[in-house]
């Protein structure tokens, strides 16, 4: 039964790996969601700031204030670009971890099927052995029926 123990150890190892990768996937998904939320905040803030700039410009702005608005809008655009790159990186990381989790889960299912097949084969072999043992036993003749004569 050494093969069964080895298979059980392999299955245990794969289960632990699958659980570890599932935890990594949760963390990657959380980081991705946080990055998406941060990007949305930056875009919303930029929209609000641009609206405020447009409103103030409509009432009249001096050159220094207009330059300051534009400089800050440019910094917001840079932050949005950086956050967009970070989001793309995190999406790639989440996809990589998802693939690793899927592969790990697939491997675990294969091991479970293999163990099930081995158990079914062992049960069938036991049944055949038991049946052979019954077939090889000397047949006992039934008790002769009492016949009235």
| pLDDT tens digits along 33-91 | 999 999 999 999 999 999 988 888 888 888 898 899 999 999 999 999 999 999 999 99
Q: Where are the domains of the chain?
A: 2-130
Task: For 25-43, write each residue's pLDDT tens digit.
Answer: 999 999 999 999 999 999 9
Is 2-130 CATH 1.10.287.1700?
yes
pLDDT of res. 24? 96
pLDDT of res. 141? 56
Residue of 101, 130, 103 lying closest to 19 (CA atoms) = 101
pLDDT of res. 57? 82
3: confidence class by pLDDT, cuts 50, 70, 90: confident
Cβ-contact 14, 107 below 8 angstroms: yes
Average predicted confidence (pLDDT) for the chain = 89
pLDDT of res. 80? 98
Cβ-contact 108, 15 below 8 angstroms: yes
Stated pTM of the model: 0.71
């Amino acid at each position: 039964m050494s093969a069964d123990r080895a298979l059980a150890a392999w299955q245990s190892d794969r289960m632990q790996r699958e659980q570890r990768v599932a935890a990594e996937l949760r963390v990657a998904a959380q980081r991705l969601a946080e990055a998406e939320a941060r990007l949305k905040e930056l875009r919303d803030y930029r929209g609000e700031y641009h609206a405020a700039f447009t409103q103030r410009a409509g009432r009249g702005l001096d050159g220094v204030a207009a330059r300051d608005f534009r400089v800050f809008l440019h910094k917001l655009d840079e932050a949005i670009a950086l956050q967009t790159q970070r989001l793309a990186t995190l999406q790639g990381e989440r996809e990589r971890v998802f693939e690793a989790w899927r592969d790990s889960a697939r491997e675990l299912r294969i091991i479970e099927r293999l163990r099930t097949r081995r158990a079914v084969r062992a049960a069938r072999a036991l049944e055949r052995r038991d049946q052979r043992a019954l077939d090889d036993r000397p047949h006992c003749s039934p008790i002769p029926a009492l016949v009235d004569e």
